[in-house]
Chains A and B, each alone.
Chain A
Amino acid sequence: MAEDKKPAPAAGGRAQTKKELPEHFKAYKHVWVAVEIEHGQVHPVSFELLGEGRKLADKRGVELAAVVMGDDRESLEAAARAAFEYGADCAYLACDPALKHYRNEAATRVLTDIVNTYKPEILLLGATNLGRDLAGSVATTLQTGLTADCTELAIDEEGSLAATRPTFGGSLLCTIFTLNFRPQMATVRPRVLAMPEREEGRQGRIVEVTPGLVEDDIVTKVLDFIADRDSDQAQLPYADIVVAGGLGLGSVENFQLVKDLAEVLGAEYGGSRPLVQKGWITSDRQIGQTGKTIRPKLYIAAGISGAIQHRVGVEGADVIVAINTDPDAPIFAFAHLGIVADAVTLLPALTAAFAARLRVNRLAS
């Protein structure tokens, strides 16, 4: 694992310094985002990546392109138009019946072909199940570097992609480069990057590619797709308000207090990792490095210490409110508002105070 390496020694090793790129990599230009489409829907992480990709492309003075793959021309064209409005100059459109459902083999073949033909210098994907599944195969096929789950992307003085991600179980961050191979690949989780402004009517050009897939060559067959009912899966990453609890609540019964507050606020609820391990909450409600990254307008954390692995998942919140009995808890170092109090008694009072306040406002308006 790259992440196992000690802080890099002084440059000198073969891969450690940027050399003149081999001749066959010199044609690699432009920044690409592989747009994630399932069942006609574009995953918002793709727009977040286009926003970031736009900045990287401008810094490099190159174009930003989107790759849209699927079986339904209409939704692909809609996705391409959306990509233009979020900053893409160009969209590679691959339409093939075999791309109806996401399948690794088909998607890998199509994406690697497009990369080999049109040669991007940077290729970004969402760090979703789909994106990670695809990125790993594509990077191996192309024999290039891939940095997973980045929290920050930048271009360094030499024009290389600097991809920063947590390492050592999240206690530190590291910046990873793919200096001598192309494309430079990275995945970023939903909500780590801000959603860019959409520029209605912004145009781009579509480049048709012909995947020419043969269904019989694809080993995986999709028998069925069972869509989650809305209530099945927490919608944490895109919630405007999130209330979460930690071990400080003391018991699963007390966790109900978090749910009560969430309900009054119309918020999603979640928790720290130990709660998942204890079975107080399901894993789709875990917030943090190995759970969900959230970016709400308001995040209320009750009885959560604020370990670094939790912190990296909530730092994008506009306002973080911490309730903790320990005035020295690490969470106070990155919360915006804090109160030193017993969450078990404060939460019900807070729920009541919000309810009262909302009732008054509601009547007034």
Chain B
Amino acid sequence: MHIVVCIKQVPDSAQIRVHPVTNTIMRQGVPTIINPYDLFALEEALRLKDKFGATVTVLTMGPPTAADSLRKTLTFGADRAVLLTDRYFAGSDTLATSYALSMALGKIAEEFGKPEIIFTGKQTIDGDTAQVGPGIAKRLGYNQLTYIARISEVDLDAATIRVERRAEGGVQDLVSSFPVLITMLEASNEMRRGTIENALGAARAEVVTWNAEAVGIEDLTKCGLRGSPTIVKKVFAPTARAEKAEIVEAEGGVDAKAAALVEAIFAKAPGIEGDLLELAGEHYV
């Protein structure tokens, strides 16, 4: 079995700061990480590898420095890393990103064998759209299984996979034939630790690096800013609320404070007291 995992190297957004005056992002010194959601996809691929035997190829589109994240996946046990990088990809939205990645996946299929399963994360923490996975699936004609909480069965002979998909109000028990694109739900598994052996290998491993031309992209207008139908026109900071919070103060101990707060809440939200009686009253008769 051949499995490809798509990962993205993202700025650790917990550490992003916005310049208080210019409202621009201060990127300097912000460390990059593997998109946390993609680790669930990677771990699931590695589990399938452990169980059924598989080659796991990891793919990312990004700047040359994204090779660091790829190497990291090798320390966990991925077999091969592919970096798609080209200045023409700069400014890609999800449509352009899924185009470029689908071309790279075509090339991967050609060079290393057609993947039965492509994994992506549920979403990225920087783009946060959850669109790239479905975009790739549609372009490659892979059956799309999103928000997968569990892979319950793989039947290699029948070439089918059975999964539990988180839907609104319940869980779908689904079966599909290969090839499929799966987006893994967060917390669906726990990422393993890398091994020293893999780490040593990873440091030496060669990252397969392709540009637009190498993956057969002839029409560059489908890439980057030019290939992106969405346009970001304005970036701005959320406005503060006009009034500040009314601060409740009370003399005395904590009970006095609590009583004052209850009064203040009922004063601010006059309707709530009636609601509360309906909702909670029966507990207290």
Q: Which of B24, B268, B277 contacts A7 (CB 8 A)?
A: B24
Q: Do A171 and B244 touch across chains, with their CB atoms under 8 A apart?
A: no
Q: How far is the CB of B81 from chain A (nearest CB, A)?
A: 21
Give the CA-CA distance A225 to B139 in the complex, in Å: 28
A338 touching B246, Cβ below 8 Å: yes
Asked if A214 is at the interface (CB within 8 A of a chain B CB), the reply is no
Of the stretches A71-79, A81-89, A351-359, the one at the interface is A351-359
Mark each residue of chain A from 260 to 294: 1 if its CB lies under 8 Å from any CB of chain B, else 0. Answer: 00011111000000000000000100000110000
Q: Does B255 contact A (CB under 8 A)?
A: yes
Which B residues touch A38, using CB under 8 A? 167-169
Chain A, residues 24-46, CB within 8 Å of chain B (1/0): the string is: 00000000000010110101000
Shortest CB-to-CB span from A231 to chain B, Å, is 13
Partner of A365, one of B138, B264, B272, B277: B277
How far is the CB of B283 from the nearest CB of chain A, in Å?
Answer: 7
Contact segment of B65-73, B120-128, B201-209: B120-128
1/0 per residue B105-127: CB within 8 Å of A?
Answer: 00000000000000000001111
Q: Are A171 and B25 in contact (CB under 8 A)?
A: yes
Judge whether B196 is part of the interface by a CB distance below 8 angstroms.
Answer: no
Query: Shortest distance in angstroms between A213's beta carbon and chain B's nearest beta carbon?
Result: 15
**Pairwise interchain contact A104-B128, C-beta atoms closer than 8 A:** no
**How distant is A311 from chain B, measured CB to nearest CB, in Å?**
7
Minimum Cβ distance to chain B for residue A215 (Å): 14
Interface positions, chain B 250-285, Cβ under 8 Å from A, are 254-255, 257-259, 261-262, 264-265, 268-269, 271-273, 275-277, 279-281, 283-285
Residues of B within 8 A of A129 (CB): 146-147, 166-168
In the complex, which residues 120-149 of chain A have their Cβ closer than 8 Å to any Cβ of chain B?
A: 128-130, 132-133, 135-137, 139-141, 143-149
Mask, A324-365, CB within 8 Å of B = 1, is 000100011111111111000110011011110111011101
Closest chain A CB from B186 CB (angstroms) = 7
Cα–Cα, bound, A174→B155 (Å):
45
B265 to chain A, nearest CB (A): 6
Q: Which of B25, B259, B275 makes the CB contact (< 8 A) with A168? A: B25
- Contact A297:B279 (CB < 8 A) given known A38-B169, A220-B145, A283-B187: no
Contact: B231 with A298, CB < 8 Å?
no
Question: Is the beta-carbon distance between B173 and A225 smaller than 8 angstroms?
Answer: yes
Q: Which residues of A contact B265 (CB under 8 A)?
A: 298, 319, 321, 337
- Looking at A10-18, A90-98, A248-256, the stretch in contact with chain B turns out to be A10-18
Total interface residues on A, using CB and 8 Å?
115
Q: Does B235 contact A (CB under 8 A)?
A: yes
Chain B residue at smallest Cβ distance from A133: B146
Q: What separation, in Å, do the CA atoms of A266 and B139 have in the docked complex?
A: 48
The verdict on B171 contacting chain A, using a C-beta distance below 8 Å, is yes
**B126: A residues at CB distance < 8 A:** 1, 3-4, 168-169
Separation of A172 and B234 alpha carbons in the complex (Å):
10
A137-178 Cβ-contact flags toward B at 8 Å (1 or 0): 101110111111100000000000010001111111111111
C-alpha gap A130/B269 in the complex (Å): 35
Determine the residue in chain A with the shortest Cβ distance to B222: A143
Instruction: Specify which of B127, B145, B265 lies most central, judged by the most chain A CB atoms within 10 Å of its CB.
Output: B265
Indicate if the CB atoms of B269 and A319 lie closer than 8 Å: yes
In this assembly, does B189 line the interface, its C-beta being within 8 Å of a C-beta of chain A? no
- In the complex, B240 has a CB within 8 A of chain A: yes
A224 touches B173 (CB 8 A): yes
Interface status of A180 (Cβ within 8 A of chain B): yes
Inter-chain contact A346/B257, CB cutoff 8 Å:
yes
Which residues in B have their C-beta under 8 angstroms from that of A148?
128-131
CB-based contact B233/A2 at 8 Å: no
Give Cα distance in the complex from A128 to B221, angstroms: 32
Q: What is the minimal beta-carbon distance from B169 to any residue of chain A, in angstroms? A: 6
Q: Are A8 and B127 also in contact (CB < 8 A) when A227-B170, A353-B255, A355-B284 are?
A: no
On chain A, the residues within 8 Å of B174 by CB distance are 220-223
Q: Report the Cα distance A167→B277, complex, angstroms.
A: 41
CB distance from B65 to the nearest CB of A (A): 14
Shortest Cβ-Cβ A-B pairs, 7 listed: A169-B13, A136-B134, A266-B279, A1-B127, A145-B229, A349-B258, A2-B93
What is A's interface to B at a CB cutoff of 8 Å?
1-8, 13-16, 36, 38-39, 41, 43, 101-102, 104-105, 108, 128-130, 132-133, 135-137, 139-141, 143-149, 162, 166-181, 219-228, 233, 240-241, 263-267, 283, 289-290, 297-298, 308, 311-312, 318-322, 327, 331-341, 345-346, 349-350, 352-355, 357-359, 361-363, 365
